[in-house]
Amino acid sequence: MNKSPKAFFRLVLWEIENSLSLPVLSLIVASAILAVLIQSTSITGFSHNYRDLSTGARTIFLILTFVTCTLFSRSFAGSFGRGDLKRMLSYPVKRWQIFISKVLALNLIIFGVYASAYAMNLYINAVSLLEPMFYVSLFAIFLQLLFVCAVSVGVSMISKSELMSIVVSFLLIFGLDAAFAFDSFYTSNGRFTNIFGYFEQITHPTSQIASQVPVTFGQFTDSIMFPLLTATVMLVVVFVYFTRKMEVD
């Protein structure tokens, strides 16, 4: 009987339980609710509808980035300092199982909590559950999460210091947002704006905003492919290094 799948799912469950313990769970939930509430208070006027989903996206991404950098750095870089990784490798588990279980579990937890908190917009802004732009917004949030995850894991493998990884990862992503134009696909807000605006043109063609700010197909694809390809390449490289080259002291 192959025990590999059973060991892998146990690692996933262990990572989830570790991340859902206090005070980690409190940090994730509080940050998600705070991000949505700040977004809601930035909305002006009384015409609450799907357009308000795009308001305050920059604040949501800023908080999401910091929380993601903190949790992934704690899980990967922190495991070196605490000796968790060395202890885990003393059990009959493989390195690829440890790596994938950490990435999978943390992404599920963070996205699940932030998606649940973001759903508060359905009530606050009177948005229908069937509104496609709500799910488009969640997709853009997931892309940002995946991008930050890859950067944080990569920096963690290099620095092997929890605090250093948090600071460097956050500054790298924040610096990327600050180095380019507000609407560039290199920035988190620019990607969200392009993805949101492109689907808005399709689902709400008579929208005033859609007619004033047209988003080309090229801008849309760039906004998806940049974080997706960057995250994929970085995670593959780090995965190979973690499973084949990295030495655990």
pLDDT in tens, 130-176: 899 999 999 999 999 999 999 999 999 999 899 999 999 999 999 99
Match 């492109």 to its residue by tokens: 198
Confidence class of residue 44 from pLDDT cuts 50, 70 and 90?
low
Average pLDDT rounded to a whole number, residues 17-37: 84
CA distance 49 to 34: 20
* 41-52 exposure pattern, b = at least 16 Cβ within 10 A, e = fewer: eebeeeeeebbb
Average pLDDT rounded to a whole number, residues 7-21: 84
CA-derived radius of gyration, the chain: 19
Cis peptide leading into residue 23 (ω within 30°)? yes
CA distance 187 to 223: 9
Residues 6+ apart with CB under 8 A from 161: 77, 80, 81
CA distance 247 to 249: 6
Q: Which two tokens stand for residue 58?
A: 């920059």
CA distance 35 to 112: 14
Residues 97 and 6: beta-carbon distance below 8 Å: no
Q: Answer yes or no: is pLDDT of 45 > 80.
A: no
Q: Which two tokens stand for residue 110?
A: 């963070």
Which pLDDT does position 41 carry in this prediction? 65
Q: Which two tokens stand for residue 221?
A: 């694809």
Confidence class of residue 58 from pLDDT cuts 50, 70 and 90?
confident
Which pLDDT does position 129 carry in this prediction? 87
> Of 2-16, 175-189, 228-242, which range is least confident?
2-16
- 114: Cα separation from own chain's centroid: 9
Of the chain, the percentage scoring pLDDT greater than 90 comes to 49
Average pLDDT rounded to a whole number, residues 12-34: 85
Confidence class of residue 2 from pLDDT cuts 50, 70 and 90?
very low
Which pLDDT does position 219 carry in this prediction? 93
Average pLDDT across the chain, whole number: 87
Q: Which of residues 2 and 11 earns the better pLDDT score?
A: 11
Q: Answer yes or no: is pLDDT of 118 > 50.
A: yes
CA distance 228 to 100: 17
Of the chain, the percentage scoring pLDDT greater than 70 comes to 91
Q: Answer yes or no: is pLDDT of 72 > 90.
A: yes
> Of 12-21, 35-44, 72-81, which range is least confident?
35-44
In terms of residues, how long is the chain?
249
What is the SS3 assignment for 150? helix
The pTM of the full predicted model, rounded to 2 decimals, is 0.90
Residues 101 and 11: beta-carbon distance below 8 Å: yes
Q: Which two tokens stand for residue 245?
A: 């080259």
Q: Single out the residue of 191, 200, 201 nearest to residue 221, CA to CA.
A: 191
Q: Answer yes or no: is pLDDT of 211 > 70.
A: no
